[in-house]
């Protein structure tokens, strides 16, 4: 048996032997359900696990408290992947076949949607299995697993990139749960930019000329400036008004907002002094992103001028767009075929049928979507996306894995997170049903371990298969015009000294005299919103 074949066999055997503990690891991260920039327990679990496995771990990498970089090995190529572990506010769900937010917390607390709990565990599985194989064969090489927080705001990878963490990588094999089992091909993900606009009413007392008042020593209510809440509302409405004119309706761009702070419940007769609104936008190229930024800046200036405020902009993130690597796509697809599609045992099937019964549907013999249990060739997957894209558009949606693409050859694997079979083309299952399936090991583990095995085989091929890494790097250099600094290379969009915005008022769990609760206090009953009107 060749060294390559022996290493591949060792990696697969290691995963089979460690499935139970890795499944438990995934479930623990799912249970933590920590949102962006606040993944303290999840990051700690990764750090402790990797150190126990012999990795050197840098905690708080890039100045981000819940980020890490784990390194192992010496000599040879530097091969990498990443773990994500942030959950999404408003998606709380127990592992039960009915709508049931977690008990003891506000009903709109966080939960895993994609889920990142399995995304990160698949990468961890692959890296540990590759390490076991390389140790067994005495294969030179270095493995790097990045802990990437705040993916839902594309927060950490642009920071790691800007600070040089990816500069010495030879290749990256990355993963995301999906409905299909495939490998992304030519069409890659686009750019994601996000910024927080802050309005401050610094001098409300200078809003009017006091000489105009009949009694100068009058209560402050007579001179109340509009203040920060009005500024935020003007910003919100002005942007809604100008949204249709930000850019022509091509390129599948989107713009969304989130209010971070809204006046801080100031006294009713004083000007609200402080408010913040976050804008996030996705686009197929950087030019569209820059045009949207231009309009947002103009709107913020106008809103501030009308309300006696000053406006500030703080970047949350700025990503580039993805680069394909056909060599790695082909190699990873071959390994996915060798591993095979996920299969769901009776525990998962029974749970899915209970969901259907809860929703008033007739339970199906096979309740999972057909694409969950078949392999989709990359060309077929590509054709499906191209069917609704114009010929000039080569990027769609957004995900910050794209940052790796500019520093080394990168491939993105997709495997099935369970989707339920629809009774007809118009039916849409509620989000809670998918969140519940994401926390059920019998449902989420099959796709997760198909991913872990496929990634491990690709990493081993890159370390041992003659010519594979060289060919992938040659294609990468061609696409970037010579590699980093090449004629077509796009450098990181954030400065090297960028400070990640982990200090802002992001949703999180807090500890109070009442115990641990969501940043919105735990209600006595219901959602704490009072009587429905």
Question: Are both 74 and 167 inside the same structural domain?
Answer: yes
Question: Are both 401 and 461 inside the same structural domain?
Answer: yes
Query: Residue 69: enclosing H or E segment and its boundaries?
Result: strand 68-74
Beta-strand relationship, 188-200 and 395-398? parallel
Query: Which of the 8 DSSP states describes residue 61?
Result: G
Chain Cα centroid distance, residue 479: 25
Is the pLDDT at 312 greater than 90? The verdict is yes
Q: Percent of the chain beyond pLDDT 70?
A: 97
DSSP string, 200-245: E---GGGSS-GGGSSSSS--GGGG---HHHHHHHHHHHHHHHHHHH
Mark which of 284, 299, 318 sits at the end of a domain.
Answer: 318
Query: Residue 299: enclosing H or E segment and its boundaries?
Result: helix 286-307
Q: How do residues 375-407 score in pLDDT, each as one tens digit? A: 999 999 999 999 989 999 999 999 999 999 999
Is the pLDDT higher at 496 or at 514?
Answer: 496
Give the per-residue pLDDT at 218: 57
Q: How do residues 66-99 score in pLDDT, each as one tens digit? A: 999 999 999 999 999 999 999 999 999 999 999 9
Flag whether 493 is in a domain.
Answer: no
Give the per-residue pLDDT at 225: 87
Question: Are both 93 and 204 inside the same structural domain?
Answer: no
Is the pLDDT at 217 greater than 70? The verdict is no
Q: What is the mean pLDDT of residues 244-266?
A: 83
DSSP string, 123-148: HHHHHHHHHHHHHHHT--EEEEEEE-
Q: How do residues 24-35 score in pLDDT, each as one tens digit? A: 999 999 999 999
Measured between alpha carbons, how far is 431 from 428 in angstroms, rounded to an integer?
A: 9
Give the per-residue pLDDT at 179: 94
pLDDT band at residue 147 using 50, 70 and 90 as cut-offs = very high
Question: Are both 385 and 476 inside the same structural domain?
Answer: yes
Flag whether 519 is in a domain.
Answer: no
CATH (domain of 256): 3.30.70.360
Question: Are both 124 and 21 inside the same structural domain?
Answer: yes
Q: Which residues lie closer than 8 Å to 54 by C-beta, 6 or more apart?
A: 72, 131
Residues in the chain: 533
Give the per-residue pLDDT at 324: 98
Q: What is the mean pLDDT of residues 509-532?
A: 86
Of these ranges, 35-49, 253-267, 381-395, the one predicted with the greatest mean pLDDT is 35-49
Q: Percent of the chain beyond pLDDT 90?
A: 86
pLDDT band at residue 230 using 50, 70 and 90 as cut-offs = very high
Residue 219 tokens, joined: 């209560």
Question: Are both 224 and 182 inside the same structural domain?
Answer: no
pLDDT band at residue 221 using 50, 70 and 90 as cut-offs = low
| Average pLDDT of the chain to the nearest whole number | 94
Question: Are both 311 and 220 inside the same structural domain?
Answer: yes
Question: Are both 291 and 167 inside the same structural domain?
Answer: no
CATH (domain of 12): 3.40.630.10
Give the per-residue pLDDT at 267: 74
Is the pLDDT at 213 greater than 80? The verdict is no
Question: Are both 170 and 93 inside the same structural domain?
Answer: yes
Flag whether 267 is in a domain.
Answer: yes
CB 59 within 8 A of CB 70: no
The model carries a pTM of 0.96
Name the residue range of residue 101's domain: 3-187+324-480
Give the per-residue pLDDT at 358: 98
Is the pLDDT at 211 greater than 90? The verdict is no
Q: What is the mean pLDDT of residues 209-214?
A: 73
Query: Which of the 8 DSSP states describes residue 487?
Result: T
In the chain, how many domains are there?
2
Flag whether 526 is in a domain.
Answer: no
Question: Are both 362 and 253 inside the same structural domain?
Answer: no
Question: Are both 217 and 295 inside the same structural domain?
Answer: yes
pLDDT band at residue 219 using 50, 70 and 90 as cut-offs = low
Question: Are both 53 and 158 inside the same structural domain?
Answer: yes
Q: What is the mean pLDDT of residues 212-237?
A: 79
Give the per-residue pLDDT at 356: 98
Give the per-residue pLDDT at 269: 77
């Amino acid at each position: 048996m060749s060294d390559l074949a022996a290493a591949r066999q060792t990696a697969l055997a290691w995963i089979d032997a460690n499935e139970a503990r890795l499944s438990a690891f995934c479930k623990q991260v799912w249970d933590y359900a920590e949102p962006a920039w606040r993944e303290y327990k999840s990051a700690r679990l990764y750090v402790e696990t990797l150190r126990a496995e012999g990795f050197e771990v840098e905690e708080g990498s890039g100045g981000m408290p819940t980020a890490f970089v784990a390194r192992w090995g010496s000599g040879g190529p530097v091969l990498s992947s990443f773990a994500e572990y942030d959950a999404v506010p408003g998606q709380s769900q127990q592992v039960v076949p009915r709508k049931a937010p977690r008990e003891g917390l506000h009903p709109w607390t966080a939960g895993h949607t994609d889920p990142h709990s399995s995304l990160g565990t698949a990468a961890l599985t692959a890296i540990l299995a590759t390490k076991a194989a390389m140790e067994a064969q005495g294969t030179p090489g270095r493995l790097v697993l990045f802990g990437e927080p705040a993916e839902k705001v594309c927060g950490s990878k642009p920071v790691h990139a800007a600070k040089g963490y990816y500069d010495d990588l030879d290749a990256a094999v990355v993963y995301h749960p999906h409905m299909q089992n495939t490998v992304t091909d030519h069409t890659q993900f686009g750019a994601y930019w996000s910024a927080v606009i802050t309005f401050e009413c610094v001098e409300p007392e200078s809003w009017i000329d006091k000489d105009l008042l009949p009694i100068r020593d009058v209560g402050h209510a007579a001179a109340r400036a509009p203040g920060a809440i009005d500024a935020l509302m003007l910003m919100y409405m002005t942007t809604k008004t100008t949204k249709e004119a930000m850019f022509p309706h091509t390129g599948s761009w989107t713009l969304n907002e989130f209010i971070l702070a809204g006046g801080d419940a100031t006294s009713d007769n004083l000007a609200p002094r402080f408010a913040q609104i976050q804008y996030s936008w996705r686009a197929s190229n950087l030019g569209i992103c820059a045009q949207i930024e231009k309009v947002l800046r103009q709107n913020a200036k106008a809103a501030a001028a009308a309300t006696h405020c000053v406006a500030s902009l703080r970047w949350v993130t700025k990503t580039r767009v993805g680069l394909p690597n056909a060599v790695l796509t082909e190699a990873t697809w071959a390994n996915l075929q060798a591993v095979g599609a996920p299969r769901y045992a009776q525990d998962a099937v029974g749970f899915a049928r209970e969901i259907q019964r809860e929703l008033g549907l007739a339970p199906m013999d096979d309740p999972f979507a057909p694409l969950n249990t078949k392999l989709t060739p990359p060309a077929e997957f590509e054709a499906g996306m191209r069917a609704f894209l114009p010929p000039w558009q080569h990027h769609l949606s957004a995900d910050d894995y794209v940052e790796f693409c500019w520093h080394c050859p990168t491939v993105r694997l997709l495997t099935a997170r369970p989707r339920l079979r629809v009774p007809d083309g118009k039916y849409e299952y509620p989000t809670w049903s998918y969140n519940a399936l994401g926390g059920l090991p019998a449902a989420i583990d099959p796709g997760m371990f198909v991913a872990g095995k496929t990634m491990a085989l690709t990493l081993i091929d890159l370390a041992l298969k003659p010519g594979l890494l060289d060919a992938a790097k040659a294609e990468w250099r061609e696409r970037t015009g010579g590699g980093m600094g090449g004629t077509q290379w796009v450098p990181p969009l954030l400065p090297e000294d960028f400070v990640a915005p982990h200090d802002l008022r992001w949703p999180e769990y807090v500890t109070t005299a009442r115990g641990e609760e969501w940043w919105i206090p735990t209600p006595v009953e219901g959602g704490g919103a009072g009587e429905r009107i």
